[in-house]
Structure 1
């Protein structure tokens, strides 16, 4: 399997941690905003396989994973994360790129596709992007005080709890235990959750401006955001968009159904790479 390397790049007074590998058509990946989330949380099962065919550039969002923290509030900052997406696209240094975004970053990559002519294709998984509430009973963005609370939060993203192993919990705990991070994360989501969901909304005008093809994946068992409330109405606003609903799958699509995801995404991005 193609090796994945890591490096940090400067960005707006902090740093972005990157995972890179492979050659050819570049695909930039961005993870979601779950507690302690990072690139490997969402994409560890697909980075290597994608890098065997494409050039992969995956970024931890600022405030997450091994990226640096935002120097000043607001820490939940869609405009800043959108600039981060644009910066990573620029690092690809290519005339055409593909984008993959999970959950919060699904909204970010859709917004990027609306304004960046270099985006040749966009894929989302369990995306946000509609000003609608979470499903009833969803735990939301709450800092876990105990390991059991963290385990419950992360298991909520999958139907198969065995996918959440000790290594994944240790990776998330390493993020959460960074000095000052508890306060940082708490202040990031200090307010009504509906306001953060609303801030991620992709407008009708942005959807209409997306001219590249799109695939919106969603697990039928997603306990955070229902496909009927997010992926399906978002796709209706895009000229060339397909929705893929996956059985036996919750929020973390690329982790829970990596083979099916790759079966669809690999030929999709091959077509994007060669489209006129």
Structure 2
């Protein structure tokens, strides 16, 4: 039987570390094999807002590091000079923290970062867990004829980060409206307002999207144990993306959740926490 979950707050777990290009903020709790939690995109996304339902539970068995990636939260932003290379930034973070190997757990954009690192530096990745990850092919970040419904709302929230747009953003991320709380919308709104330079950086980023560049043959080379988790009702990134992932990566499996949107770690926190801890312990 696992021990009771210890209450963890964002102040006591807050940390900073300097890497060659960025000062990166993260939240840290627990001991054991490291789990690096990587948030998705969207204005106001942070390691805490994405994973506040998971950190305390996972920290019972593992050293948990929930990162504000460059361009988000309290970390430095990205510019044309620094580039928009999240995988390199993550490898630099692992080096700065003295982590030779870690399990990477990535939601959406964070999932693409994790997949890229698993290809570039497989010796640094013990396990790969993705939630709602976009994966190249048909309906990649789209609805087949343009951006997905959720992606349109996300982009509008970047252009106009009003309270109303933040509420629309958290609502479209969830299947059940009860999870799209005013508190979560306010948390993301406050984070976005505190660092408007991140919003400007995102809107100035080069197109096509700079965060994922692997080709199909490169993806087939990834042999890290992989668990893809996806919501059947995801309106941001269709679950077909994770079907392609597990049909491409040789050592992978899929957990498809009904009545679940883009945030499996929030809407189905208990199941997400349980299967993540078990996968890392056993795989």
TM-score by length of 2: 0.85
Equivalent in 44, 53, 60 of residue 36 of structure 1:
44
Q: Corresponding residue for 2:258?
A: 247
Equivalent in 199, 204, 227 of residue 215 of structure 1:
227
Cα distance in 2 for partners of 1:150, 1:76 equals: 27
Cα distance in 2 for partners of 1:42, 1:201 equals: 24
Equivalent in 173, 177, 183 of residue 167 of structure 1:
183
Matched-pair contact (CA < 8 Å) for 1:220–1:245: yes
Equivalent in 122, 126, 130 of residue 128 of structure 2:
122
Are residue 189 (structure 1) and residue 203 (structure 2) matched? yes
Secondary structure at the counterpart of residue 155 of structure 2? coil
Cα distance in 1 for partners of 2:170, 2:82 equals: 22
Structure 1 pair 180–23 and aligned structure 2 pair: CA distance change class (3 A): closer
Alignment coverage as a number of residue pairs: 264
Are residue 84 (structure 1) and residue 89 (structure 2) matched? yes
Cα distance in 2 for partners of 1:76, 1:103 equals: 20
Structure 1 pair 260–202 and aligned structure 2 pair: CA distance change class (3 A): farther
Matched-pair contact (CA < 8 Å) for 1:18–1:57: yes
Q: Which runs of 5+ in 2 are unaligned?
A: none
Q: Corresponding residue for 1:62?
A: 70
Structure 1 pair 13–107 and aligned structure 2 pair: CA distance change class (3 A): closer
Q: CA deviation at 1:115?
A: 2.5
Q: CA deviation at 1:201?
A: 4.6
Cα distance in 1 for partners of 2:36, 2:201 equals: 28
Are residue 204 (structure 1) and residue 241 (structure 2) matched? no
Structure 1 pair 92–54 and aligned structure 2 pair: CA distance change class (3 A): farther
Q: Corresponding residue for 2:270?
A: 259
Q: CA deviation at 1:191?
A: 7.5
89-98 or 145-154, larger mean C-alpha shift: 89-98
Secondary structure at the counterpart of residue 244 of structure 1? strand
RMSD of the TM alignment (CA)?
2.3
Structure 1 pair 178–9 and aligned structure 2 pair: CA distance change class (3 A): same
